[in-house]
Chains A and B, each alone.
Chain A
Amino acid sequence: MDTMTTSGTAVVTLPQETQILITREFAAPARLVYRAWTEPDLIARWWSGERGEVTSVEIDLRVGGRWRYVMTANEGFEVAFHGEFREIVPEERIVMTEAFEGIPDPDDHATLNIITFEEVDGRTTLTQLAECGSRETRDMIIDSGMEGGMQEAMDRLEQVAVALA
């Protein structure tokens, strides 16, 4: 139960009631994984996954600095996230907030993400622990498909947008 599924290589677990943990190993040293995670040009190449294309990456990589990523989903609408860096240990650890702009009062429902890069024999295990802070926030994240990545969540978002129009 701890590891809910083993399909694919990203492993998602729910270690605590309000936490979501992702683990993945990369065939590269930590300094490169860290670069890919923190340099705008590199982030733009992977952050949207297969769901769309990244259109904007702004990063002020320092404690208290803000970040904002925007992608255009394959269906044509925009998905944006933003947050603030709370802790930065180059090539080892980043603590940042993450708010999904597709929900009301995004900053009230931001998660605190702890990302760690651990290198062994030239390979790097990356973990991202998202602390939701409350069950309400966790449920909103789950309902919104977290990264705006899941089709049904997109459909729901569209319905909301239509309802607001």
Chain B
Amino acid sequence: MARAATTADAFNAVAEPRRRRILDLLAEGEQPVNDLVASLGIGQPQVSKHLRVLREVGLVDVREEGRQRIYRLNGRSLKPIHDWVVGYEQAWTGRFDRLDAVLEDLTEEERKDGHDDD
């Protein structure tokens, strides 16, 4: 059976707001499904569906404790996304730092010209 495209990789998995919320909640510590359901305010089947997607791409791990299934964040699998975002952010931060300098010069020019040259 064809697997839903959204489960393809971690980038897709975190592109869904509720799944990001689940990761946020699990970032505070491991939690049983019922606690996640209570925090999210959506039905248990939906929460379980999101958890399955997250588990398939390795973003969360699960363990059984008695009759409960306890989920926790797997930080390592977030690393590819984190690395890409950090690199992308650095490239833009470099640009924006230079843009700051350009804007300082423009502001200075306007001040000299008496700010009536628009």
Contacts and interface: CB of A to CB of B under 8 A. Distances in A.
Nearest to B103: A28
A77 interface: no
Contacts of B14: 1, 14
Contacts of A48: 95
Contacts of B95: 46-49
Given A49-B95, A51-B91, A4 B6 contact: no
A42 B91 contact: no
Interface residues of B, number: 41
Given A17-B15, A36-B99, A135 B87 contact: no
A64 B86 CA distance: 33
Interface in A33-53: 33, 35-36, 42, 45-51
Interface string A127-153: 000000001001100100111011010
Contact of A135 (B5, B84, B99, B110): B5
Given A8-B93, A14-B14, A26 B99 contact: yes
Contacts of A45: 98, 101-102
Interface centre among B27, B98, B102, B104 (most CB of A within 10 A): B102
A32 B24 contact: no
Contacts of A8: 89-90, 93
Contacts of A86: none
5 contacts: A4-B85, A10-B89, A28-B107, A45-B101, A138-B11
